[in-house]
Structure 1
Amino acid sequence: MQVVFHLGVHSTDSDKLLKSLLKDKGKLALHGVAVPGPGKYRALIRTTIADLEGARSNQETRQKLFDSMLQDNTIERVVLTNENFICVTPRVFDGIGFYPQTIEKVVSYCNLFYGHDVEFQIAINNPAVLIPTLFNRMNDISYEEYLSGTDPMSLRWSSVINQIREASPQSKITCWCNEDAPVIWSEVLHSLVGLDTSFAFRGEYDLLDEIMTKEGLERFYAYLKTHPPQSALQQRRIIAAFLDKFVREEVLDIEIDLPGWDDDYVAALTAIYEDDILEIKRIPGVRFIEP
């Protein structure tokens, strides 16, 4: 069995990937791919890992998990998604750096499905966006307390990806930038389910419904009827062209009100993030989806 963990992360797709995939749940099952609802596995995975106490699962435990998640025995690939797979929001900075539990959690998931082909896919997010959105979720805690002494300028997604690689050297790792998601959404969906582009998703343009004006959407879908994209590259170019003209700027704007965060600070964080993306692309065995 191929078991795919979509690790999130926080403040990226907010379960939109899951919702897009569930639109084709029945059709995907015919291709041997299962997309179980979160109620079938999120709590069960958490409690089972706790019961294992770091040990590898046995056949009985694994079968119990599969019986809970799967409807039939023809499934060859199962996609699991949860923005809290690495940790919950209050614990993102609970240690040195961020997502300090990465190695522990990845090892736990590999132990949970020991003997199966475990794969990890993850969307990364500009810390200049991630940190304010994470902090906005918190109550009754100061910005300084939440960061636990972590310097935002020190954050590197390449460190997180390297930890996944270290914890499970044999696993496939796929990564993409959340800010690119509207343009590469179809490719991300195909990556998660492991099917080629001949499989058509009903939800391949779901993100555009949220960030494009009504006029833009009408023109976009009308254009697709007469000019269907002949490749992923052409599809990306069409989407980018329409977003350039019809994007809803108010949806993309994020209010940042954190101590010491002026325009120069945000620009510096963003520059570090962009350099870090180049580092991720150099990590052996990591597939990076980009426009």
Structure 2
Amino acid sequence: MPREAGQNGQGRSHMQVIIHAGAHKTDEDKLVRCLMGNEPILSELGTAVPHPNSYRKLLRDLLNEGLQAGLPADTRDRVLQAMRVPEGTERLVISNHGFFGTPRMAVNSGQFYPAAVARLRLFQEILHLDDVELFLGLRDPGGLLPALAHDARAHSVADYIGGGEPKDILWSELLARISREVPDMPMTVWCNEDTPLIWGEVMRDMAGVEPTLRLDGEYYLLHDIMSRSGMKRFLEYMGDKPDMSEVQRRRVIAAFLDKFAEEEALEEELELPGWTDAMVDELSAIYDEDCYAIRQIPGVVVIDP
């Protein structure tokens, strides 16, 4: 039976630590739940995915403490012990859409996640023996900003962002800021709108396993957006063709979604004062351009469909 972290904390070899920090209003913990569902095979391969209840409050308190007064020398041991990380773990995956703050803190001064750099530096301090990487799902601001405003109980998007123009709030600014201020931290990002096509790849990249490894839950999102009959036919089709490449699987998923997607499941409408369809369309066009700019930022890997 593997020994738990903390029993010999100073002697532990370093790990790769994946910080999945959301963004807010993207996968809503589906990613970490799907990875936890693969615990038997992932643990054999050296990847640990502890339950979020074991670390979310602890890390929130430590991040707040670290910003105010610094961190004790034994912080890493405390964290790994709380998460019950087995000895021999090579890769640790932790996930929380709130790592960079609450929905109310997600946008300020014309930026996504103003606190991101300070908190990532604290993660590096907490996990000072480890290689920390950031994984982040992005979302079209045309739908994200009203959703965040709603969760923050703001009266309007303008009230929520507190000045400036929504069109100036860019994901590329956040990622360039992290790249500049935390240059030794690799980043992997993807567009939330693409996740039905790339969910399996996101899971495997986060877990650090081979691209050919089949994981439970890699079609999880399709259940929410495809008709029951379409999903049944899709799973039968995929079951008959287990050796498909990643590209072939994506083409099949796209074809089935084209035929069997339930349109109402793909739509999300939040009516807030002053927020119009024209603004949503404008922000979506800017988002497309911004996603191209992101590909030029040093240290950023983009998972594309």
Aligned residue pairs total: 291
Deviations 1:186-240 (A, max 9, x none): 0000110111123221111100011110011011011112223521111111111
> For the Cα contact (< 8 Å) 1:174–1:287, is it kept in 2?
yes
Task: Indicate whether 1:123 and 2:137 are aligned.
Answer: yes
SS at match of 1:136: helix
1:271 corresponds to: 285
Q: Which amino acid in the other structure matches residue 33 of structure 1?
A: T
2:218 corresponds to: 204
Query: Following the alignment from structure 2 to structure 1, what is the Cα–Cα distance between the partners of residues 103 and 244?
Result: 41
1:217 corresponds to: 231
Give every structure 1 segment of 4 or more consecutive aligned residues whose post-TM-superposition deviation is greater than 6 Å.
Answer: none
Q: Which amino acid in the other structure matches residue 244 of structure 1?
A: D
Query: Following the alignment from structure 1 to structure 2, what is the Cα–Cα distance between the partners of residues 285 and 54?
Result: 29
Unaligned runs of 5+ in 2: 1-14
SS at match of 1:160: helix
Quote how far apart the aligned CAs of 1:259 are: 3.2
2:172 corresponds to: 158
> For the Cα contact (< 8 Å) 1:110–1:168, is it kept in 2?
no
2:98 corresponds to: 84
1:63 corresponds to: 77
Tell me whether 236-245 or 52-61 shows the greater mean CA deviation. 52-61
Task: Indicate whether 1:110 and 2:124 are aligned.
Answer: yes
> For the Cα contact (< 8 Å) 1:107–1:167, is it kept in 2?
no
Deviations 1:236-288 (A, max 9, x none): 11111111111111011111423333332221111100000000011122110
Unaligned runs of 5+ in 1: none
Aligned match for 1:139, one of 153, 163, 188: 153
1:194 corresponds to: 208
Quote how far apart the aligned CAs of 1:93 are: 2.3
> For the Cα contact (< 8 Å) 1:55–1:111, is it kept in 2?
no
2:58 corresponds to: 44
> For the Cα contact (< 8 Å) 1:173–1:286, is it kept in 2?
yes
**Alignment root-mean-square deviation, CA:** 1.7
> For the Cα contact (< 8 Å) 2:109–2:161, is it kept in 1?
no
Structure-1-length-normalised TM-score: 0.94
1:232 corresponds to: 246
2:37 corresponds to: 23
Q: Which amino acid in the other structure matches residue 161 of structure 2?
A: L
Query: Following the alignment from structure 1 to structure 2, what is the Cα–Cα distance between the partners of residues 144 and 82?
Result: 26
Task: Indicate whether 1:2 and 2:1 are aligned.
Answer: no
SS at match of 1:47: helix
SS at match of 1:135: helix
Structure-2-length-normalised TM-score: 0.90
SS at match of 1:84: coil
> For the Cα contact (< 8 Å) 1:9–1:124, is it kept in 2?
yes
Q: Which amino acid in the other structure matches residue 66 of structure 1?
A: L
Tell me whether 180-189 or 259-268 shows the greater mean CA deviation. 259-268
> For the Cα contact (< 8 Å) 1:79–1:193, is it kept in 2?
yes
Q: Which amino acid in the other structure matches residue 163 of structure 1?
A: R
Query: Following the alignment from structure 2 to structure 1, what is the Cα–Cα distance between the partners of residues 225 and 250?
Result: 16
Task: Indicate whether 1:175 and 2:180 are aligned.
Answer: no
Query: Following the alignment from structure 2 to structure 1, what is the Cα–Cα distance between the partners of residues 246 and 27?
Result: 21
Tell me whether 266-275 or 229-238 shows the greater mean CA deviation. 229-238
Go from structure 1 to structure 2 and tell me whether the alpha carbon gap of 1:193 and 1:54 turns closer, same or farther (over 3 Å shift). Answer: farther
Query: Following the alignment from structure 1 to structure 2, what is the Cα–Cα distance between the partners of residues 172 and 55?
Result: 27
> For the Cα contact (< 8 Å) 1:4–1:77, is it kept in 2?
yes
Query: Following the alignment from structure 1 to structure 2, what is the Cα–Cα distance between the partners of residues 191 and 127?
Result: 25
Go from structure 1 to structure 2 and tell me whether the alpha carbon gap of 1:229 and 1:198 turns closer, same or farther (over 3 Å shift). Answer: closer
> For the Cα contact (< 8 Å) 2:137–2:191, is it kept in 1?
yes
Task: Indicate whether 1:282 and 2:300 are aligned.
Answer: no
Quote how far apart the aligned CAs of 1:54 are: 6.6
1:245 corresponds to: 259
